[in-house]
Amino acid sequence: MERPVELGNMTRVQGFVLLGLSTRPDMRDVLFAVFLTLYLVTLLENTLIIYLVCTHSELHKPMYFFLGNLSCLEVCYVSVTMPSLLLGLWNGPSHVPFTACMTQLFFFISLICTECTLLASMAYDRYVAICRPLHYPLLMRPQVCLGLSLSSWLGGLLVSVVKTSCIASLTYCGPNVLNHFFCDVSPLLNLSCTHVALTELVDFISAIVILWGSLLVAIASYVAIGRAVLHMPSAAAHRKAFSTCASHLVVVGIFYSATLFIYARPSRIEAMDLNKVLSVIYTVVTPMCNPVIYCLRNKEVQAAFHRTLCWSRG
């Protein structure tokens, strides 16, 4: 429902109140300990991968280049949303200035768009490696990898500039309470007291282009990989390839399912409690699982990690 108000009577709010993940005092201490642990584990995992990729020459390959980018993104990503989540669990509802809220929104949108396109680039890299191995050195040469990475990061920034500008230009005249643990698109649109049809349209179109576009690239890549695996003569090769692809698809599926449900809809979401639960999935769970699924189960990464341990002991 739109809430038209006479422009002359509008008083722009100076900040927002974040209710946080839980308003129950008896739950907040337990949740704080859980999410602080998850945050530290996520930082440790991804920092370790960045270090290994940068310091071991055998990991200077396209696949690990993208994994290093993804880990760098995950460190930034969780550091945008988790501090406000933890603050809400520690102190309860907190006041966030308008500028700080829009800044958090800008970085969040930029990083989530970048993650979508990076996941698609990683799926394409695996497609070329498995389905077109003879052309892999040409199709995934360093210039191409750098171009895909830069376009992911710059594309996320560009989309975020447009979306954040639209949302920041809306008028918020009260109430100013966000039933969320960070400044997200849907809660902010719900609080606007001016017409948001154009902003919703921009949000919906960008979600369709970024989320659905990158998801289709990832699905097409994995379908092609599946077909190639089915033609492999060895049963052991079948199991190994399907095991790897299945684990990747689980992470991609969980991430895209949650983000598509929230962002690829042409209207604002009213069920904020469901919104918060789904937000936890792609802001907390997937950044923690991605390093394990994509990297730490990989034999080359494990070997590099063991050598690092040996060097540190020596």
- 16-308 to CATH, choices 3.40.190.10, 1.20.1070.10, 1.20.1250.20, 1.20.120.610: 1.20.1070.10
CA distances from 84 to 20, 79, 167, 185, 195 (A): 8, 9, 20, 16, 28
Residue 6 has a pLDDT of 45
**20 close to 86: Cβ distance less than 8 angstroms:** no
**120 close to 212: Cβ distance less than 8 angstroms:** no
Q: What distance lies between CA 191 and its chain's CA centroid?
A: 24
Residue 3 has a pLDDT of 47
| pLDDT tens over the chain, length 314 residues | 444 444 444 557 788 999 888 777 778 889 999 999 999 999 999 999 999 999 988 889 998 999 899 999 999 999 999 999 999 999 888 899 999 999 999 999 999 999 999 999 988 998 998 888 899 999 999 999 999 999 999 999 999 999 999 889 888 887 888 888 999 888 888 888 877 777 778 777 887 788 888 989 988 998 898 888 877 777 776 676 666 677 677 777 777 877 777 765 544 445 556 778 778 888 888 888 888 887 767 788 888 888 888 876 65
As a whole number of Å, the end-to-end CA separation of the chain is: 66
Residue 237 has a pLDDT of 66
CB count, 10 Å around CB of 139? 15
Cis previous bond, 233, omega within 30:
no
In this structure, are strands 177-178 and 94-97 parallel, antiparallel, or unpaired? unpaired
